[in-house]
Amino acid sequence: QVQLVESGGGLVQAGDSLRLTCAASGRASELYGMAWFRQAPGEEREFVAGLSAIGSRIRYADSVKGRFTISRDNAKNTLFLQMISLKPEDTAVYYCAALLSAQLIVPTGTSSYDSWGQGTQVTVSS
C-alpha cells in the first residue's frame, strides 16, 4: 500500500496561485500513476490532473488546462500541483490519489485509483 499526505491548501483571492504537495510513502513513486482530484460541497469528486506510471503521460481536466501543472519528483516520492489564475469555482477539497500498477494510461475515474490522501482545502474568494 501507499500512504499519501497532501499539503499546501489555503484561502486565496481570485487570480492568486497555490502549489499543492502530496508526499507518498510505502512504495517508490515511479512505480505507479498519480493524480489530483477535487470535491466541492455537494458535488462528486472530479479528476483534475494525472500522470501515468509509464511514459510520463499527463492529462488535465478541460477546466484547468493552461492554469494547473502537475509534476512529480520521484527521488522524493512527491507529487505537485501548481495552480495559477485561481477562480472561485476552483474552491474544493483537493485529493491526491495513486494507481498502484504500471500503466500507460491516466484514468479519470475515482474507482481506478487504489490509495487516497485525506485532502487539503483550497478556497478561492472573489
pLDDT digits (tens, 9 = 90+) for 73-89: 888 889 999 999 999 99
70: nearest Cα among 54, 59, 61, 81: 81
Q: Determine the straight-line distance between the first and last CA of the chain, rounded to whole angstroms.
A: 39
Position 56 pLDDT exceeds 90: no
According to the model, what pLDDT value does residue 30 have?
Answer: 63
Average pLDDT over residues 92-108: 92
